[in-house]
Structure 1
Amino acid sequence: MPASYAHVLRLPHARTTFAAALLGRLSYGIVPLSVMLAVTRAHGSYTVAGAVMALFSATSVFLSPARAALIDRHGPRRALLPMTAAYAGLLGLLTALVRPPDAASPLVLGVVAAAAGTCTPPLGPAMRAVWSRIAPDPDLLRRAYSLDAVAEELLFVSGPLLVGALVAVASPAAGIAAGAVLITAGAAGFVMSPVVRAVRPEPAAATHRDGARGRVLRTVRRPVLAALGVGLALGAADLLVVAFAEEHGPGGAGAAWPLAALSAGSAVGGLLHGAVSWRTPAGVRLPLLTAGLGLAVLLAGLATGLGTLTAVMAAAGFFVSPALTTAYLLADESAPSGARVRAGAWVNTAVNAGSTAGTAAAGVLAGLLPTGWCLAAAGAATLLVAGTAVRGATRRGAPRPVGTGIV
């Protein structure tokens, strides 16, 4: 049968499982902005809101591999349900605590936000591990991962838009509550899927418990490194595009166009990448795609206006989803038996950590250098990461074929 996107969605239980996972993951696009707006309104301070968000994001991102390990060890049903219940409950508590005029102190909000981040269910890595079970054929799996990456991109674009519409008729705290409802409904639907109910933890997940973190990270070092480079480029671009727009127009309103072009290019690139039957192995494609993104961001430093920058950002976006899809595929290929959710979570963590570092570094550079030079520096750093991944591929050789293990 032809390996197409329609074929992927016609696989047994694919549509219902994927739809449930996407419903839950929409919460990730809604909750952060809602928390930021709600805390700002409660205390009238961006500093307090930023600190609370930093605690929420830090625990959510950096503890993701640990939460994924629980899913590998105990299976998605036994791990996701209590994790989701705790996360939704803490979001509900946060909703109550941010309501003015009786909002809780910044310290209490920070503690609750950090606890909520600690319990964030890793629905993305869990769904990608299930794709490996639903779509054992390599071509189908690549298309499934591409579809997943593009859908996730759209969720993170539509989430803030939904928050904007919600805030127009209700308080920002309602967005936090909506995120709790979405994650509960999505995770419940996901674990009720027959294909998820059939998943059992592999013996290896328990056998290699000691030192498992280092072992998994070593095996997925190349895709994690490439994902770090992608995140670095994206984090820097987000800030520097705003700085560029402020230099070329009143209030920086023009930043929406290059950022929208980046997302649109990513969606188009992801769909095209998944539609092609590649003969080149994922381990070879990944550094090339990462280098393409770095080169595009570097060339963005030569932009003379918003129109030029928008075109270059669209070209840069063309590499984003393909690079991340390939990183997830390579992590899935390379993961030890019983550690696929963890492998995907490490790639997730690398993207978010790279984005945070890229934004921070760009903020420092923007105060010292012209915006064009800052963009060039971000692109050069991404190219350097791609070169490191190439050297790693040369040393380590080819990964094992796709689909040789089960979740």
Structure 2
Amino acid sequence: MVAGYRAALAIPGVARVVAAVLVCYLLAGMVNLSLLTSATHATASYAIAGAVVAAYAAAVAVSAPIWGRVVDRRGPLWTLAAASTAQATAFIGYITVLVVDAPAPSLIATAAVAGSCTPPASAIAKRIFAKYDDPGSRRALFAISGLFSELVFVVGPLIVGGIVAIAHPTLAVAVTAAVSLAGVWWLRGAPAVRELAAAQAGDPSAEPRRRTGLDAAQLHVLAVVTLGAVAIGALQVSVVAHAAHLGLNPGLFVAGLACGGVLASFTYGARSLPGSLPTQLAVALGLYGVLIVAFGTGPGIVISVVLVLLAGAVTGPADAIEALLIADHTPGHAQSAAFAALTTANWLGFAAGSALAGTAIDRAPLWAATTIAGAAALVAALSLVMRRGPEHSG
């Protein structure tokens, strides 16, 4: 199973990009918990801490496609340098606000600025992966990206938790900022990124006036991604509520989802699945919807764990498939903005699903929240079945 990965990583310059982007991805796995714990420690208010995290997340969602467009216009080297410098400055500002015990709005504002300056490392890495013609190598590289996006939410909280356990929560924010800065500059120095910058500089099609916006096919993929993220966000809240009902640590179910996703992402990168990419994604989302609805019946511990493992597994390859679809629909000079739009779709969908499920659970049984999640996934799957997509196999 590792042969496909070995071949992909043997492409000159790719291993450096993969290693650097893993460090960049750690930001996503660390930042929410570091902001939450530092703000809670400083204000003794979960409401304020929640607002800090929400401000950061909303800023990431809004700014991601903007930074992607900047990459397409100014190139990856300038964009990574500008974004990482701005974000590091914003994190310093946030830490300063913590140290001087400034009012809560200052915490929220500086967190939002840090989120709005999140470097588009993922979009740049995906653009590099998309340029390789061999389908097996492209699939393996996008699967690695999806695997990392799952893995960092296991590793990141452990790092932050360890720091908080032995030191002040503010240090967790500083380490998070340092990790992001190091990863971005490591990626920026990769030969593959510099080659991309040189190629873009010599490509007249990269001029801003040639870019007219997202087309119908791209918008459909982004709508599917958003609905899928609604389902994921709603399930995350549902598993926490169900764990409390069973008297269990919710980490058991959350870890089950992540582990299922990691294993499936790895398998997808090593094996070619039958059917076109839209078909593969439709099957994954359809199965996910069914599993969520089954989880909503409130089964016992063993069946619940099995269901969340399977749910994580069927959606594990979704990140890779979605990125491959965007690559198929987007010319090279405009891919950074399109890939960055995936970030926005995921963040917005996850936030909406979490909010809807939380409201439903407060007012109704568990099945109400999982019905929302299952319906979102099934609608996304149905839209893929009804709309003819590109016939590229996975």
Match of 1:112 in 2: 110
**Contact (CA 8 Å) 1:4, 1:275: kept in 2 or not?**
yes
Match of 2:244 among 222, 243, 246: 246
1:405 matched residue in structure 2: none
Aligned residues: 389
The 3 A distance-change label for structure 1 pair 217 and 48 is farther
Structural mapping, 1:172-321, within 5 Å = 172-200=169-197, 201=200, 202-208=203-209, 212=212, 215-216=213-214, 218-249=216-247, 253-321=248-316
Distance 1:400 1:74, change over 3 A: farther
Tell me if the contact between 2:222 and 2:341 (Cα under 8 Å) persists in the aligned partners: yes
State the Cα distance separating 1:153 from its structure 2 match. 1.0
Closer/same/farther in 2, CA of residues 381 and 152 from structure 1, 3 Å limit:
closer
Residue 103 of structure 1 aligns to a residue whose secondary structure is coil
Q: Check whether the contact 2:77–2:188 (CA below 8 A) recurs between aligned residues.
A: yes
**C-alpha separation between the residues in 2 aligned to 1:57 and 1:148?**
20
- What residue is the counterpart of 2:58 in the other structure? 58
3-state SS in 1 of match to 2:272? coil
- The code of the aligned residue for 2:283 comes to L
Question: Partner residue of 2:31?
Answer: 31
Instruction: Determine the structure 1 residue equivalent to 2:162.
Output: 165
* Counterpart contact for 2:297–2:366, Cα < 8 Å: no
Q: TM-score, normalised by structure 1?
A: 0.91
Looking at structure 2, the residues matched to 91 and 14 of structure 1 have their Cα atoms a distance apart, in angstroms, of 30
User: Which residue of structure 1 aligns with residue 49 of structure 2?
Assistant: 49
What's the CA shift string for 1:291-318, capped at 9, x where partnerless? 1211111111124222211110111111
Give the percent of matched residue pairs that are identical in Structure 1 and Structure 2: 29
Residues 17 and 223 (structure 1 numbering): CA distance in 2 closer, same or farther, change over 3 Å?
Answer: same
> Could you tell me how far apart the structure 2 residues matched to 1:223 and 1:321 are?
17
Report 1:16-165 matches (<5 A). 16-99=16-99, 102-133=100-131, 135-165=132-162
- Contact 2:127 / 2:332 at 8 angstroms: preserved in 1? no
Structure 1: which amino acid aligns with 2:319?
L
Is contact 1:331–1:344 with CA below 8 Å preserved after alignment?
yes
Task: Provide, for residues 236-259 of structure 1, a one-character-per-residue CA deviation record: whole Å limited to 9, x for no partner.
Answer: 11111111111121xxx4322221
- Within 5 Å, which residues of 2 pair with 1:329-368? 329-368=324-363
Q: What displacement does 1:400 show?
A: 7.8
In the alignment, the residues of structure 2 paired with residue 302 and residue 168 of structure 1 have an alpha-carbon distance, to the nearest angstrom, of 37
- Equivalents in 2 of 1:46, 1:326: separation in Å? 37
Give the TM-score taking structure 2 as reference length: 0.93
Give me the whole-angstrom Cα distance separating, in 2, the residues matched to 1:149 and 1:329. Answer: 11
How far apart in 2 are the matches of 1:274 and 1:236?
A: 27
Q: Distance in 2 between matches of 1:156 and 1:322?
A: 16
In the alignment, which residue of structure 2 is the partner of 1:389? 384
User: SS state of the match for residue 207, structure 2?
Assistant: helix
For residues 298 and 304 of structure 1, the distance between their equivalents in structure 2, rounded to whole angstroms, comes to 11
* Alpha-carbon distance in 2 for matches of 1:337, 1:20: 22
Distance 1:399 1:96, change over 3 A: farther
Measure the CA separation in 2 of the matches of 1:20 and 1:176: 20
Paired AA for residue 168 in structure 2: S
Over residues 34-60 of structure 1, what are the superposed CA-to-partner deviations in whole Å (9 max), with x where a residue is unaligned? 111111111111111111221111011
Question: Is the contact made by 1:263 and 1:317 (CA closer than 8 Å) also made in structure 2?
Answer: yes
Describe the superposition over 1:186-221 as per-residue Cα deviations: whole angstroms up to 9, x where unpaired: 1111111111101133433324466x3xx2253412
- Secondary structure at the counterpart of residue 119 of structure 2: coil
Give 5+ residue unaligned stretches, structure 1: 403-407
Cα distance change on mapping 1:174 and 1:181 into 2, 3 Å: same
**1:11 aligns to what SS in structure 2?**
coil
Q: How far did residue 139 of structure 1 move?
A: 1.3
- Separation in 2 of the partners of 1:354 and 1:77? 30
Measure, in 2, the Cα distance between the counterparts of 1:207 and 1:169.
49
Residue 28 of structure 1 contacts residue 179 of structure 1 at CA under 8 Å; is this kept in 2? no
d(CA) in 2 for partners of 1:19, 1:182: 13
Instruction: Please say if residues 42 and 98 of structure 2, whose CA atoms lie closer than 8 Å, have aligned partners that are also in contact.
Output: yes
> Is the CA contact (8 Å cut-off) linking 2:232 and 2:373 kept in structure 1?
no
